[in-house]
């Protein structure tokens, strides 16, 4: 967990992704997800993992991903792209996934009052 915060380039992300899945035992999944969420600011691609999981066929996986996004929004709302959240909300409404939608709507509310920081200080 400390490495995830201070030296994210040393973390085996592929291993964390395998352990962070919704149907893994909680004592395996919870620390893996915590490490991924800790790395989200410095390794923005990790946010994409949670957004991809929102498109899963499994409702439990979508709820799990939406909850992770909500937790990120509670701690670091500025790293979440409001456009990505809005797109995901539309997709969840289209399939009537109320559980995942509830978490994502709460995340959208937290993100709404912040200024999105793209992660790139020096862009074109």
Predicted confidence (pLDDT) at residue 6 exceeds the cutoff of 70: no
Q: Is residue 61 in some structural domain?
A: yes
Predicted TM-score (pTM) of the model is: 0.87
Number of domains forming the structure of the chain: 1
Average pLDDT of 68-94?
96
Average pLDDT of 94-115?
96
Give the sign of the dihedral formed by CA 29, CA 119, CA 75, CA 58.
Answer: negative
Q: Is residue 118 in some structural domain?
A: no
Percent of the chain past pLDDT 70, that is, above it, reads 88
Q: Is residue 119 in some structural domain?
A: no
What letters, b where the CB count within 10 A reaches 16 and e where it falls short, cover 27-37?
Answer: eebeebbbbbb
Predicted confidence (pLDDT) at residue 111 exceeds the cutoff of 60: yes
What is the reported pLDDT for 122? Answer: 61
**Boundaries of domain holding 16:** 2-112
Q: Which element (helix H / strand E) includes 91?
A: helix 82-94
Q: Which of 18-22, 28-32, 37-41, 60-64 is least confident? A: 37-41
What distance in Å separates the CA atoms of residue 96 and residue 98, rounded to the nearest whole number?
Answer: 6
Q: Is residue 102 in some structural domain?
A: yes
Q: Is residue 122 in some structural domain?
A: no
């Amino acid at each position: 967990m400390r490495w995830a915060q201070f030296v994210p380039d040393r973390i085996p992300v592929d291993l964390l992704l395998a352990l962070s899945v919704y149907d893994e035992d909680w004592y395996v999944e919870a620390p893996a997800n915590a490490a991924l969420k800790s790395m989200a600011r410095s390794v923005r691609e990790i946010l994409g993992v949670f957004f991809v999981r929102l498109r899963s066929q499994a409702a439990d996986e979508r709820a799990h991903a939406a909850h992770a996004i909500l937790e990120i929004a509670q701690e670091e709302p500025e790293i979440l792209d409001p456009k990505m959240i809005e797109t995901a909300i539309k997709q969840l409404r289209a399939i009537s996934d109320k559980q995942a939608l509830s978490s994502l709507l709460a995340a959208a509310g937290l993100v709404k009052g912040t200024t999105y920081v793209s992660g790139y200080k020096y862009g074109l």
